[in-house]
Amino acid sequence: MIAGAWLCLCAPLAGALAITGAGERISRRNAGWLSTASVFVAFGGAVWSFLGLRSHGSEHGVISTAWTWLESGKFHVGLSVLVDPLSTMMMLIVSGVGGLIVLYSIGYMDGDDEERRYFAYMSLFVFSMLLLVQGGNLLLLLAGWGLVGLSSYLLIGFWHERPSAVAAAKKAFVMNAIGDATMALAFFVLIAHSNSLEFTTSFATAGHLSSTTVNLVALGLLGGAAAKSAQIPLHTWLPDAMEGPTPVSALIHAATMVTAGVYLIARTHPIFEQARTVELVAAGMGALTLLVAGLIALVQVDIKRVIAYSTMSQIGYMFLGAGVGTYAGGMFHLMTHAFFKALLFMAAGLVIHALSGEQDIRKMRGIGTLMPWTRWAFLAGALALVGLPPFSGFFSKDAIIAAALHDHWYGVVLAVAALGGAFLTGLYTFRLYFIVFGHGQVSDAIDGSHHGEGPKTMLVPVGILAVLAVVGGWIQLSPWWHPVTSWLSPVAATLGVAEPPKSQEVLASVLAVALGLAGVALAYALYGQNRLAVPRLPGVQRALEHKLYFDEAYDALFFRPAAALAGVLRRDFEEPIVLASGPDLGEGALEAGAGVRRLQTGLLRTYVFFLGTGMAVLAIVFLAVR
């Protein structure tokens, strides 16, 4: 079991190192296969751990420490992996979906100059993500947390000749660094109080902390989670991150990394439970994000950006779920979301690949007729996303809405937001679907550049994921059948308040499905059949197209002042004062020297005069002092 976990963790790292080290001695294609293999080995390891854990029957999982990673005084942190239900679930998702996406990349990246680098990065990412989920203590979790950010940076900026890609990569990293920093601060508090970052010790400590302190800790963790999961206000990097290759978007910015925030909340829920306020803030944040992202998604014309906003929105659901206490619900949605969102991205990738990189949905009209498989796959994903039964999204999303509804007035607000989100989801998803795959004139631009359906390496993973997107939700149909919840209960027991009665479940499901369908219908009317004119609200539209001016606001609030401050410091402090003060003093000394030098007239009488004066003064002083 433990060996499986280590295997799972190390295989992708070994893959990354092997590809890097081999350099040009390995062919591009083989690099791709090597990477794929390493991730599937990891999946094998994950399965091994899963089976082992099942038979082992351990309640809280097993920690295996390789060696002490960091130690100072009483504080010490091992390089250890944790195998427990939560981590195994994540391992399975990460390595499984990851393996499929890496496989898909072989086709997608075929022909790129730097395929090797790509696959090395991909393996590195999978390793980092596994470290994040397997890390046996908070510090290793943070290490994985940072490393996924790094891999994300590397992969977003993969096409580094594009300034926009580089800028997006930097933005993603910096935003994530903010999250890392707040998490680190939260850890400092824990260390100060318990000298430990072990999960159990820390959670136990949290119980003894004052409410302010524990709220601060939770807030720090939430900062990290929000940054990683692109929740408002730290969300602006995610749409830009679509500059990366599409499989990257599928893997990192849809299936795995961005959902790490949910994992973090689930993992550290004992702390959040001590800090209910913060937990509710998280839920509210999720609600806000899911609405805002849904709205923005309505007007985007870049296929990947639409899906990206949809991702933000769906993660908003997960946060909502975790925030109200149904950690398992959040995790369940995380899993199904991984399936269908990866699917959507990969289907979109097929289209983009077929169109040689074109991402503007207005130029894709009619592609569906040329790519039927892709179209079906996309449709499966879209339906899962909207959450219509029996597609996977239905089961997971409705559980969250139901849980939210259960809470008092705040819960109602959250549930209303979530239901609004369901409507929006239907609308923007099918707007996308109808524009891209709807019936219509195949645009001229497509004809010339179209490559047809992609290669098998791409279609097979898409197919598998399409199936998973359909059936993935069936493993849990709360409240009647809930293996996921039970599986996770030892580590992420759902809060009592989040245990919704059956009536609520039904109510939530009905409402959500109805609203989702309404959205789909509206989209059909607007875009599928063009029966209705898209309402003209230029102000709103412009605001949404500018993503509600978040970027502009951050630019004006943070970047510009900081840059200006740096400029001012440099121009008005560093150069004139710090750098010049030394030379100025030196100038002063030199001037004094020139003064002394002028005394040295070369005239004998001056010299004698000074000698005589010196004598006289010395004598006077001596006489006076004696």
* Residues numbered 102-121 forming contacts with another protein, rule: CB under 8 A: 114, 117
The reply to whether 626 sits near another protein by the rule CB under 8 A is yes
Q: What is the 3-state secondary structure (H, E, C) of 262-296?
A: HHHHHHCHHHHHHCHHHHHHHHHHHHHHHHHHHHH
Q: Which of 3, 537, 557, 615 binds another protein (CB under 8 A)?
A: 615
Contact of 67 with 79, CB cutoff 8 Å: yes
- Rounded to 5 degrees, φ, ψ at 83 are -115, 110
- Closest approach, Cβ 121 to another protein, in A, equals 10
* Minimum gap (Å) between residue 115 Cβ and another protein: 12
C-beta of 137: minimal distance to another protein in Å?
13
Listed as own residue / partner, the contacts of 140-147 with beta carbons closer than 8 Å and 24 or more positions apart are 140/69, 140/77, 140/79, 140/80, 141/264, 141/267, 142/180, 142/183, 142/184, 142/187, 145/179, 145/180, 145/183, 145/224, 145/228, 145/260, 145/264, 146/176, 146/180
Q: Please write down the HEC assignment for all residues of 358-424.
A: CCEHHHCCCHHHHCHHHHHHHHHHHHHHHCCCCCHHHHHHHHHHHHHHHCCHHHHHHHHHHHHHHHH
- 26, 185, 379, 460: which one binds another protein (CB under 8 A): 185
Task: Provide the sign of the torsion angle of the four alpha carbons 405, 407, 409, 411, taken in this order.
Answer: negative
* Interface pick for another protein out of 25, 55, 57, 67 (rule CB under 8 A): 67
The verdict on 566 binding another protein (CB under 8 A) reads: yes
Alpha-carbon distance of 7 to 263, in angstroms, equals 21
- The gap between the terminal CA atoms of the chain, to the nearest Å, is 96
Return the bridge partners of 80, or none: 65
Residues in region 314-353 near another protein by CB under 8 A: none
Q: Does 557 bind another protein (CB under 8 A)?
A: no
Q: Is there binding between residue 173 and another protein (CB under 8 A)?
A: yes
Smallest gap from residue 569 Cβ to another protein (A): 6
At closest approach, how far in Å is the CB of 103 from another protein?
Answer: 24
- The nearest distance, CB 123 to another protein, in angstroms, is 14
Give the whole-angstrom CA distance, residue 321 versus residue 366: 38
> Which range touches another protein (CB under 8 A), out of 28-36, 186-194, 464-472, 502-510?
186-194
Binding mask 443-482 for another protein (x = CB under 8 A): ----------------------------------------
* 198 near another protein (CB under 8 A): no
Counting Cβ atoms within 10 Å, is residue 418 exposed (0-12), middle (13-18) or buried (19+)?
buried
- Whole-angstrom CA distances from 439 to 442, 530, 571, 619 are 9, 11, 61, 114
Of the two residues 158 and 378, which places its CB atom closer to another protein in the complex?
158
Residues 57 and 84 sit within 8 Å (Cβ to Cβ): no
Q: In the complex, what is the shortest distance from the CB of residue 130 to another protein, in angstroms, rounded to a whole number?
A: 13
Q: State which of residues 55, 57, 111, 161 lies at the interface with another protein (CB under 8 A).
A: 161
If one asks whether residue 576 binds another protein (CB under 8 A), the answer comes out as no
**412 vs 569, beta carbon nearer another protein:** 569
Binding positions for another protein, 382-441, rule CB under 8 A: none
User: For the window 18-57, what string marks contact with another protein as x by the rule CB under 8 A?
Assistant: --x--x----------------------------------
- Kindly compute the dihedral angle of the four CA atoms of residues 134, 135, 136, 141, in this order, to the nearest 10 degrees: -140
Which range touches another protein (CB under 8 A), out of 204-212, 402-410, 462-470, 569-577? Answer: 569-577
To another protein, the closest distance from the beta carbon of 182 in angstroms equals 7
Single out the segment in contact with another protein by CB under 8 A; choices: 96-104, 148-156, 231-239, 319-327: 148-156
Kindly indicate which of the ranges 91-99, 158-166, 236-244, 422-430 contains the residues binding another protein, using the contact rule CB under 8 A. Answer: 158-166
